[in-house]
A and B are shown apart, each in its own frame.
Chain A
Amino acid sequence: MYLFKSCVAGTFYPGIERSFRFILNSLNVDYFDDPNQSSCTGFAGHCGVVPPEANLSLNARNLALAYNSGYTNVVCTCPTSYANLKECIGELNDNKTRAAINDVLKTVNYEYKGGVTVYHAAEVLYSLKEILAERAKFSLSKVNIATHHGCHYTKVFYDEVTGGLWEYPTLLDEICAAFSATLVDYSERSSCCGLGFSHLIDVDEYTESTSFRKLESVLAEEPDLIVTMCAGCQLILDRFQRQFEERLNRVVPVLNVSQLVALLLGADKSRDACLQFSTIDIAPLIEKMEAV
């Protein structure tokens, strides 16, 4: 497993990757933490700052690094990296494009040869959910959870979604259910969190109203927690929630699925899950987690 690090996760919620490492370590999973990997630049690409050719060359290098390392299963903690890398692989399947990009890579002594598969970290947790549940030190039996899967996982490679269908993914729901959580449905389940990348920079009223609609519908169901698999979604749903606090009258904690699973396995709240980076206090949730 080639651990593909995320710039947004690393910057805003370092607990996402630290938790994922904690989980992998506790299961003795062999993974490679490559210091040479660069950001996929997906965020900048979506905002129109990084041109597609640069994005493609840079990720061809990232993918070549994974291939050369022998760890050909690339696992992203960020759905934007996930979708971006998968799109790059698609484009590099075209012989002409591949040759042109390899001409660029030659100048830095790399060659893209393919042979790499891209997954999201939540898919790894999904496939291990029964094993993880067996090792859990805490249960979610008293916790009501609303899940938010994120557009870059469910709507870009929609026919490759694990767990459910792209319009109603159940990937996170099934992971949470393995730890005995109760899942709550809410009306804006498939709506965007409001991040919208370039929209966030250009038209903040639109993103704000989208985020409000999303949070309003979640809070109407009174869950104890929102679980995401995207650092960007977490940023919007957690950090921006304060903005709506007066209008919504209450708040709900937000966690990445890696953080949640790590906590359930007994990870340290601050050193591993880095809960101190969350804007909405996680303490009420922690109280509801029952030791098993």
Chain B
Amino acid sequence: MSKFGVFLCRCDGNISNAIDIDRLDKDFKRTTVVDSDQHLCSLQGQQKIKKSIRKHNLDGVVVAACSPNNHGQTFKGCMRDAGLNPYLLEITNIREQCSWVTDDRKSATNKARDLINASLQRLEHAESLSEFRVDVTNATLVVGGGIAGITAALALAENGVKTYLVEKEPSIGGNTVRIGKVFSPHKMVEECAMCSLSPLMNDVYENHKIELLTGAEIANINGTAGHFNVDVKIKPQSVSERCTSCGECATVCPIEVPDWWNANTRTRKAIYKPFPQAVPDRYTIDAEHCVNCGKCAKVCKSDAIELEAKPSLRKIEVGAIVVATGHDEFDPSLRPEYGYGRFKDVVTQLELARIIGVNGPTNGELLRPSDGKTPKRIVMIQCVGSRDEKPHGLPYCSSVCCMVALKHANYITDYFPGTDITVLYTDIRAPGIYENYYRHVQEKGVKFIRGRASDVKRKGGKLYVSAEDTLRGQCLELDADLVVLSTGIKPSQGTVHVGETLGIELGDDLFVKEKHPKLEGASTNTKGIYVCGTAQGPKDITYSVLQADAAALEALSLVGQDYVSVEPLSAFVKDSCNGCGMCVRQCKNNAIKMVDRRATVDPMLCTGGGACVHVCPTAALDLHGCTEAQLEASIRGILAGKREKEIRNIAFLDTKIGYAAADNIGAARLRYPPSIRIISVPSVLRLAPQHIELAFQLGADGVFIGQGFEAESCGENFESVETRLNDLSKEVVQRGIDPARLKIYRVYIPHFVGLHKRLMQFDDKIKETGELEKELAAP
């Protein structure tokens, strides 16, 4: 008989405040080796596990601690160090899915005991597995050519790594090009942003290790950390490298459209160069607005214009990816009370930056849009769209807008003396030494009033800003020649697009979620993909650049290795295979092939969802890490010891999205009753009708299946996964189960609150309906 050890983590009260660890220690001591620690993840805690494995010659280990998503790798390392195969480890999640979600100590302790018992039962069926090695491709991809992407790409290339820099616009530079000035908290002055940025952009162009792809977007990706295959979609390159930037083409172009690079404060032609320092240094055709009149091609002396150019697809191979896709501005028309769009003299800070920028629409003169006069009184409104819980609002602080307002107020006070500036703020956030700059601006005479503006009105041709001075308890109406809105920062469309294409986790605000908010701030939840800049969250240039260097360092340490290990959690074929080929048709990843009339799985292509397992008529297929025996043991274990009148509902959640969302429920300390028990499955396609039936036979009162939204599984798209789930549901109902006891739900990680609500509703409904046995016994 196998000898197992159970290790209980107290997590410094995070677990032990809600769960009676001493009690569990005592209970499990009767049958198995038990130990506990304040922090099993600490070196001391790990040492304890390792020593115990050696001392008791253990055959398998259950670690009851936080989610396997946190320290799964740490504990696998312990196993390896102690000479045990890491796949003989079961992690019981008694923190995110027990202590943090259960109110009453007794129920939490009972639930933890049941979960550990289920792990012990599953461990009986664990198998030793060895990992695969994947050769690492010594190349990287940086997505996004703003200041963060440029910094990361340069850091990688300067360390000798071939780097692809993909940018969707015709030039790199990003938002830094548009902001005009940056402030120095040491010198109390504003400096030219382009003066810092332009040399870096030129370095990118000249570095032979960097291949710059502009007008390009990520279309598709597959592979794993160490070796990704990426498809890059490139817009038609209608102006070739022969372009000398003479500008003749733009003078004859008849089309005029708003210029994004100038925050739409001026226009440009359909053939244009974004800004004088653009990299690559050439003109570009905006296909959306070009009418193909051909005038530009006629005047071009270098024959650089190819109107017939077609879009292309570039396939690249890289070992690591850095996401630096940046942010967009909050759309101020969503706060119509401030009159943006209705009153010409209501502008955003970015538009003001263009107005006072020497390369902007007024050549740096402070002139207001309506009549070109110099404004004498300026009112700035902070937190437009930020810290705003109303519909369309951004609930978070955008973190840079206070400093942007201070920067512009200081600059205007210096260069246009006599201008009266009032800043209406919620709280001024000037962390660290930025406070010095804030004090400096205050001393210069800029007025600060604490209070959110209620609206901007026009009376007798003049603008008035209404606000409450919350420190004095007074309502004010301030007249203004120019009103400037400090709009918030939201994730760019590119960030959301890349997040979906690369399959990396986004937070509920749709910024890319970092792996660990303190310790791994530049890693995503997908190994080999890193993040920096405002793609990860609102931050200023200083922090974007720091994070870009951190992301580059992470990517370097990955591509610097010869190989990476890949978990061997793939399907495998047993002797009973009769060569019927049904699994080959099922697998959309083409991971199963017929070799000598026998199915063979390519473990590198298999994504380990397990959809093939139950299409096999001879039960010859199974899945490493979630074998039929392991899955059954989990179901049995989680339902074992069900007490009289107790309700138990099983939630099968896919590991990547559903289970991670359930962890987020715990992290947010939302509560749900202990009757809900979660089983993680690699994909919901792993589930067959017999598993659901077994759950009901063994006493489950309800079964909830949560599938990650938009998640691919076994190469099948979300729609076909849904169809398969509906078929599963129909079959289960045909087998005599009340359809109300089975619930299928799409899980969307950012919306973990939705999963929580559905679980609660389901649990309530089952409790209202009552125990399954009772119902069966009734007639």
Interface residues of A (CB under 8 A from B): 158-159, 164-165, 167-168, 185, 187-188, 190, 217, 220
Q: Select A167's contact among B337, B459, B460, B464, beta carbons within 8 Å.
A: B337
Nearest residue (CB) in B for A217 is: B459
Q: Contact between A190 and B455 (Cβ–Cβ < 8 Å)?
A: yes
Give the shortest distance, in Å, between A209 (CB) and chain B (any CB): 13
- Complex CA gap A159/B458 in Å reads 26
B48 within 8 A of A: no
Residues of B326-342 at the interface with A, using a CB-CB cut-off of 8 Å, are: 334-337, 342
B391 within 8 A of A: yes
What A residues does B457 contact at CB under 8 A?
187-188
Nearest residue (CB) in B for A159 is: B391
Known: A185-B342, A187-B464, A190-B337. A167 touches B455 (CB 8 A): yes
Known: A185-B342, A187-B464. A167 touches B335 (CB 8 A): yes
Q: Contact between A165 and B460 (Cβ–Cβ < 8 Å)?
A: no
- Complex CA gap A168/B457 in Å reads 12
Give the shortest distance, in Å, between B728 (CB) and chain A (any CB): 31
What B residues does A168 contact at CB under 8 A?
336-337
What A residues does B464 contact at CB under 8 A?
187
Q: Contact between A187 and B391 (Cβ–Cβ < 8 Å)?
A: no
Residues of B450-493 at the interface with A, using a CB-CB cut-off of 8 Å, are: 455, 457-460, 464
- Complex CA gap A167/B384 in Å reads 14
Q: Select B460's contact among A158, A159, A190, A220, beta carbons within 8 Å.
A: A220
Nearest residue (CB) in B for A187 is: B457
Interface of A is mostly: mixed
Nearest residue (CB) in B for A95 is: B764
Q: Contact between B459 and A187 (Cβ–Cβ < 8 Å)?
A: yes
Instruction: List 18 A-B residue pairs with CB atoms under 8 Å apart, sorted by A's residue number.
Output: A158-B390, A158-B391, A159-B390, A164-B336, A165-B334, A165-B336, A165-B391, A165-B392, A167-B335, A167-B337, A168-B336, A187-B457, A187-B459, A187-B464, A188-B457, A190-B337, A217-B459, A220-B460
What B residues does A220 contact at CB under 8 A?
459-460
Interface bits B732-775 vs A (CB < 8 Å: 1, else 0): 00000000000000000000000000000000000000000000
Nearest residue (CB) in A for B460 is: A220
* Apart from the given pairs A185-B342, A220-B460, 9 other A-B contacts in the complex at a CB distance below 8 Å: A165-B391, A165-B392, A167-B335, A167-B336, A167-B337, A167-B455, A187-B458, A188-B457, A190-B455
- Complex CA gap A220/B337 in Å reads 20
What A residues does B455 contact at CB under 8 A?
167, 190
- Complex CA gap A158/B336 in Å reads 13
Give the shortest distance, in Å, between B707 (CB) and chain A (any CB): 28
- Complex CA gap A188/B391 in Å reads 23
Give the shortest distance, in Å, between B463 (CB) and chain A (any CB): 10
What A residues does B460 contact at CB under 8 A?
220
- Complex CA gap A47/B344 in Å reads 42
The 8 closest A-B pairs by CB, nearest first: A168-B336, A187-B457, A167-B337, A159-B391, A187-B459, A167-B336, A165-B336, A187-B458
Give the shortest distance, in Å, between A38 (CB) and chain B (any CB): 33
In the complex, which of the residues A164, A190, A217, A220 has the most CB atoms of chain B within 10 Å of its own CB atom?
Answer: A190
- Complex CA gap A32/B502 in Å reads 55
- Complex CA gap A167/B392 in Å reads 13
What B residues does A187 contact at CB under 8 A?
457-459, 464
What A residues does B392 contact at CB under 8 A?
165
What A residues does B337 contact at CB under 8 A?
167-168, 190
Nearest residue (CB) in A for B337 is: A167
- Complex CA gap A168/B346 in Å reads 16
- Complex CA gap A168/B459 in Å reads 17
- Complex CA gap A188/B455 in Å reads 10
What A residues does B342 contact at CB under 8 A?
185
- Complex CA gap A167/B335 in Å reads 7
- Complex CA gap A167/B466 in Å reads 14
- Complex CA gap A56/B337 in Å reads 34
- Complex CA gap A175/B458 in Å reads 24
Nearest residue (CB) in A for B462 is: A187
Give the shortest distance, in Å, between B466 (CB) and chain A (any CB): 9
Give the shortest distance, in Å, between B385 (CB) and chain A (any CB): 12
- Complex CA gap A167/B341 in Å reads 14
Give the shortest distance, in Å, between B749 (CB) and chain A (any CB): 24
Give the shortest distance, in Å, between B335 (CB) and chain A (any CB): 7
What B residues does A159 contact at CB under 8 A?
390-391
Interface bits B377-399 vs A (CB < 8 Å: 1, else 0): 00000000000001110000000
Interface bits B683-722 vs A (CB < 8 Å: 1, else 0): 0000000000000000000000000000000000000000
What A residues does B391 contact at CB under 8 A?
158-159, 165
Give the shortest distance, in Å, between B256 (CB) and chain A (any CB): 28
Nearest residue (CB) in B for A161 is: B391
- Complex CA gap A188/B336 in Å reads 14
Give the shortest distance, in Å, between B208 (CB) and chain A (any CB): 52
Give the shortest distance, in Å, between B740 (CB) and chain A (any CB): 17
Interface bits B328-370 vs A (CB < 8 Å: 1, else 0): 0000001111000010000000000000000000000000000
Give the shortest distance, in Å, between A207 (CB) and chain B (any CB): 17
